[in-house]
Amino acid sequence: MAGSDWYLFDGERQLGPLNWNELSHFLRVQDLSKLKVWREGLTEWVPAAELPELALARPPVPTASVNDHGQNTSKKRGRFNNFIAKNWRGEFSLATSYWLFGFLGNLFVSIFAAVVVAAFQLDSGYQPKAIFASISIAWAGIAAIAVWQSVGVWRSANRHINARTILGKRSPWAGLAKIAVFVGVLRLIGNFLSSGWPQLLEAGRISFLDDPDIPAYSIRVMRDGTEAEIAGGFKYGLTDDFLKILSASRRIRVVHLDSIGGRIGEAVKLNKVIRSRRLDTYVSSNCMSACTIAFAGGQRRILRNGAILGFHAASFPGMTKAELVEASRDQKDIFAIAGFDKKFIDQALSTPSTELWKPASNVLLQAGVITSVSDGNDFAMSGIGTSLTMGDFGAILSRALPLMESLKRRFPRDYDSVLQAYYDSFESGQTQLDSVAAGREKLLVVLKRLKPMADDLVLSDLATVYADQYTALGSKDPALCYRYASGTGNAVPGSEIPEHLIARENDVSRRVIETAAVRAADNPPAVEAAWKKVLAGLASKGFKAGQLEVLSDTNAPAERYGEYCSVAIALFREISKLAGNDAGIVMRDVFAEK
């Protein structure tokens, strides 16, 4: 009956007459069970599924046969019929494709991404390659599901539009669905470019390029194997290398940290090691960003006076603000376990990643971030790098002590001797106090030889510095003044002398080095005349000539420490007041007597 005119009824309206081609096209996009048909020769409307000839308009069904060898020679259909394939071909209704598979697809994406991340990171800690694989697989899965959803909805919408067109109806819902698919694809591409791609790029740089934007790290064992310094960036492998150091040096109790930061994941790993081993942490220079996480693992957390801890929020390319807040939860927990004040934690982690909050030491103490502040003398010297050559160390020393540059220029052999003493002590990992003492001992020997060769005005200023230093030490403890003034100054910690007086002494010592020259011996009558002026000044202040003898007593009893200090202060005050070259004459004589 291919040549007859056909009429269709879909439950709402009648359509026809239709020729066989029009009928066939319509039946390909509609369910026969929902249609009734009529043609000439039929007494009434008949369900389309009951007419055998209409099966010709449907896709052929494979038939099975057996050949002469008993083999099945059925023609298999060239497509799968599971729901995945049927949705891909758009064979489900538009509502099913759009709403049901849309919801299930989105739900599957969320579960899939969570499972992938958990599978790669479960009990594995910070593993960059696992992170890269997790991100790659997650986005590949999201893309596959999104394409499957979009193609299914698009094809289902096209079938819906064709069916409605044959019936003479419009299909705005199908058009809106296709627009939604188009917008969804654009949004997915935008999300990948703004989030997925930056994350993949960063994870790839960490995994395969050794994190090139973060400085290399180094680890140094110091102070007879009881302390270790970690310097440089926090990047993958640091904790594993530190564990090897701990295995080889089992007496390590203090970890020095000197870092601008790096990867939070590695810092969290290091924190766990430090906390589990009950180690102390110490910062002598700077500990910024992720470094503070490792610092928080210390049983005791010590900050050198003048050192800096810097805090800010976490950051990672492609991560949204909400994701970063979630990522910082571990960091909050670590700080809370360490005993940091909650308000401090909130402020530290709310500081933008482009900024750095550097709280003062009193704020850090009050918030429980540090347990104490140190002058550094109880720890090995650190915070200046772990792989320094002697030339590097010399440059650092010259910046801290400008007189070293003058010594290098004018007396290179003496410079090498002093530098070697400092450097050997640093290399052996001695305490800062011992390192400074070793270098200072050599330097004092050099200065003792050069002082009598300095200009008169320089020696006059040196007398003033001595008087001011003795006064400052005597006001604290006469014993300190006695030990320093009697020539055993190396036994007095530099922290006992005010910093401005140390700076003045260093500057005068620099001038001693720069003006040192071979000089003719002073005329004895001139020396005697200059001393008479000094003694006259002392006498006018109530001092007797015999009291000067106490200054030659290097084993004075404790009860005379105060007297020794008073006489020494008065003596150098009077010397500094002398006019012309008299101060230089007397100071050279004092050095000669010693």
CATH of the domain at 233: 3.90.226.10
Given pLDDT bands bounded at 50, 70 and 90, which one contains residue 436? confident
pLDDT of residue 547: 80
Residue at token pair 């654009």? 186
pLDDT of residue 116: 53
* Strand runs labelled E in 317-380: 372-374
Count Cβ atoms below 10 Å from residue 224 Cβ, excluding itself.
Answer: 12
- Residue 341 burial class via C-beta count within 10 angstroms: exposed 0-12, middle 13-18, buried 19 and up: middle
70 within some domain: no
Tell me how many domains the chain contains: 5
Res. 359: pLDDT tops 70: yes
Mean pLDDT of the chain: 83
More confident residue, 253 or 138: 253
Alpha-carbon span 201 to 199, nearest angstrom: 5
Q: Say yes or no: 184 and 222 in one domain.
A: no
Res. 316: pLDDT tops 70: no
192 within some domain: yes
Q: Helices marked H in 122-261 — which ranges?
A: 128-166, 172-191, 197-208, 238-248
Q: Say yes or no: 399 and 521 in one domain.
A: no
Given pLDDT bands bounded at 50, 70 and 90, which one contains residue 326? low
- Report pLDDT digits (tens) over 32-73: 667 788 888 777 888 877 777 776 555 544 444 444 444 444
Is pTM beyond 0.75? Reply is: no
Res. 298: pLDDT tops 80: yes
325 within some domain: yes
pLDDT of residue 505: 94
Range of the domain at 420: 388-450
pLDDT of residue 27: 73
pLDDT of residue 79: 57
pLDDT of residue 85: 84
Q: Say yes or no: 366 and 431 in one domain.
A: no
Res. 267: pLDDT tops 70: yes
In the predicted model, what is the mean pLDDT of residues 136-160?
85
- 45 contacts 9 by C-beta, under 8 angstroms: yes
Q: Pick the range with the lowest mean pLDDT from 125-129, 454-458, 465-469.
A: 125-129
544 within some domain: yes
Q: Say yes or no: 29 and 117 in one domain.
A: no
pLDDT of residue 557: 85
74 within some domain: no
pLDDT of residue 71: 47
Instruction: Identify which of 260, 240, 243, 265 has the alpha carbon closest to the alpha carbon of residue 252.
Output: 243
Q: Say yes or no: 127 and 157 in one domain.
A: yes
In the predicted model, what is the mean pLDDT of residues 345-357?
89
Q: Say yes or no: 441 and 463 in one domain.
A: no
Q: Which residues contact 560 (CB under 8 A, 6 or more apart)?
A: 550, 553
Q: What percent of the chain has pLDDT over 90?
A: 40
Alpha-carbon span 355 to 297, nearest angstrom: 24
- 574 contacts 508 by C-beta, under 8 angstroms: no
- Report pLDDT digits (tens) over 512-530: 999 999 988 999 999 999 9
106 within some domain: yes
461 within some domain: yes
Q: Say yes or no: 340 and 393 in one domain.
A: no
Work out the angle between the directed axes of helices 432-450 and 412-427 (0-180°, nearest 10).
Answer: 170
Q: Say yes or no: 446 and 516 in one domain.
A: no
508 within some domain: yes
In the predicted model, what is the mean pLDDT of residues 302-330?
76
Q: Say yes or no: 440 and 460 in one domain.
A: no
Q: Say yes or no: 394 and 542 in one domain.
A: no
Res. 496: pLDDT tops 50: yes
Q: Say yes or no: 52 and 184 in one domain.
A: no
CA distances from 412 to 199, 372, 407, 415, 511 (A): 54, 41, 6, 5, 16
- Both tokens of 396, joined, read 């650092």
Given pLDDT bands bounded at 50, 70 and 90, which one contains residue 247? very high
pLDDT of residue 68: 46
In the predicted model, what is the mean pLDDT of residues 161-175?
75
The one-letter amino acid at 163 = A
pLDDT of residue 168: 66
Q: Say yes or no: 221 and 364 in one domain.
A: yes
More confident residue, 546 or 256: 256
